[in-house]
Chain A
């Protein structure tokens, strides 16, 4: 990343004329399109982008869908950004495939499109992807859960609380990562629910909020009251699941793992509601995205992916107060200084 920026600075003078996109007339333009502006994750992302843009003198426009899965508004936002002649678009696609045509159109117009947080399918739809390694995030909590259970892992009763029926990439990457980390044969790694491991009780969708988490947990407990490992798509869903377990007096017998690193989630780790969570870094994601756009606007440099991945890894860290050997982690205390929201 820093290499890119340095290259950008050296070439900026020579290639200044190259970036003669409409917006380059006075200031460089950039767009941030998030799934929603309700989730603190995206709020933090916007903060990061806004701060970085101010620093780089970039004019930033922000857009958001109304709800997760709101494809139409995101397409409209991409179109507005093309019309505005921006140099780069940072987008967290609500649907990994449905937005591809709009993004292709934007790239054809000479715009750098960086997927933040959620990769496109295929990933090279966008110029680059700056994301949490969601699969890795899942693996970390899967490994942690298996190690914590020890021998009991062989007879675990597992429930997975996923996002929604569309099975978008974040959803299956975290889920399948968790399964892999726990030592389950995932079959098709892009498909939730095709596993035949007898330890899996079932999965249900939560829409990533507390209400959905609670209802899904209640439903799965009706299928098998002996569930003792619960994977959740995010921390609000985990909080909902905990309420369901507490209503049945089982909160102390069940291991809940999650992904996100939001501050309420980290506090829930501290209080033992969540056993472990994989923390991601939305602020870093967005600020790096803006830097990449600045570099691209300056000399056309496109960001490069991390070794062996088809995206630029912005990092993931396991947060737990019950660390296990062999899996690096930080405590909830340390995480409170890093969390978002």
Chain B
């Protein structure tokens, strides 16, 4: 075996195709390859690029348009500050669930159990505070802890056991739902009983009036949750890691992200948000109802998808989910005030979902 010592650094290659080749190559294309060319685009391609750069633009435009259109159709009744604040109030719980759902979807996962965790936690805090006489703050604290734990359970199965999120959360959806029925005895806790024993549980049902609008604390909570999550996802390293994992988990791993740990944290945080949502839901519904929000899982996914967050992960802004939830609320309110039958509301939401996913696919094609 011959080992030649390393020569001193030298300017160019000697053997092979020879230096002349190399230099002519250089001369021919000094910088051209690395240049980011500003290609001429058709207007449509221009729009595609714009939407690619600002993914929330679609839901914002749809929201603005639908408010405008329903304002024209249904008039003052729709467009009043009161009705608009009512829509905000009506979407607040699904909105909070959609915030939790967005976190999961950004990691290319899906969580079918969000609403089940939420309803279970509202039952837990209600049972503790009202039936068992635990002080309300303690009961709420317990529900937050258990909600986080429930989410963490999902996360551990996804990250450590490598089970598909769809299957894991389909399972835990059933599990949490069964626990909910067992613990609640399938019985609602009445509004009046909550008022008497633990009014704190209905804190987020309180409201104040501004210029004809009736703003509940629950509506504000939803907006605050979205704002905080936006900050965390866009302005902290952890948030960027969440995106990186959803974008390409293997790449994130090689780039030095401890992907499994982040995944567990994401699911746990989603569970915690669901538990906060549970508190807000008690205020919103008035009573603690083990049978409410049965379709909350799917409604939260609907909001996320309409909000332009890609189900393939890593793309979209959490604010999209807020707009997605609002779009659904605006459609429901607008169609109702326009006198459209319930089944056509369902019909319209169905089309919204499909169109939103189609637009997402189209925008993704820009990468080339």
Interface residues of A (CB under 8 A from B): 37-40, 43, 67, 164-165, 193, 202, 204-205, 207-212, 214-215, 218-219, 222-223, 236, 239-240, 242-243, 246-247, 264, 267-268, 271, 273, 341
Contacts and interface: CB of A to CB of B under 8 A. Distances in A.
A273 B192 contact: yes
B290 A210 contact: no
B186 A204 contact: no
Contacts of A246: 286
Interface string B181-222: 100011110111000000000000101000000100000000
Contacts of A37: 181, 186
B291 A268 contact: no
B333 interface: yes
A207 B291 CA distance: 9
10 contacts: A43-B186, A164-B342, A211-B93, A211-B284, A211-B293, A222-B337, A223-B336, A264-B190, A268-B190, A341-B186
A155 B331 CA distance: 31
Contact of A214 (B192, B207, B285): B285
Contact of B291 (A165, A193, A222, A236): A236
Most buried by B among A164, A193, A246, A247: A247
Nearest to A43: B186
B286 A39 contact: no
B336 A240 contact: no
Interface string B17-54: 00000000000000000000000000000000000000
Interface residues of B, number: 37
Given A204-B342, A223-B336, A39 B186 contact: yes
Q: Which 3 A-B pairs have the closest CB atoms?
A: A243-B286, A211-B292, A210-B289
Contacts, number: 98
Interface string B284-317: 1111011111100000000000000000000000
B77 interface: yes
Contact of A40 (B186, B191, B281, B346): B186
Contact of A165 (B186, B332, B339, B343): B343
B346 A243 contact: no
B122 to A, nearest CB: 11
Interface string B78-97: 00000100100110010000
Interface in B138-184: 181
Contact of B287 (A164, A210, A341): A210
A27 to B, nearest CB: 29
Contact of B292 (A39, A164, A209, A218): A209
Contacts of A223: 77, 336-337
Contacts of A268: 190, 192
Contact of A38 (B186, B332, B336, B341): B186
B190 A267 contact: yes
Contacts of B291: 38-39, 208-210, 236
Contacts of A267: 190, 192
B214 A247 contact: yes
Contacts of A207: 294
A179 to B, nearest CB: 18
A209 B285 CA distance: 10
A70 B291 CA distance: 14
A160 to B, nearest CB: 13
A40 B207 CA distance: 32
Given A210-B285, A211-B293, A243-B287, 18 more contacts: A37-B181, A38-B186, A164-B342, A165-B342, A202-B339, A204-B336, A209-B291, A209-B294, A210-B291, A211-B284, A212-B292, A214-B284, A214-B286, A219-B336, A223-B337, A236-B291, A239-B287, A246-B286
A247 B207 contact: yes
Contacts of B214: 247
Given A40-B186, A43-B186, A209-B292, A271 B90 contact: no
B290 to A, nearest CB: 7
Contacts of B205: 247
A210 B292 contact: yes
Contact of A67 (B90, B190, B294, B343): B294
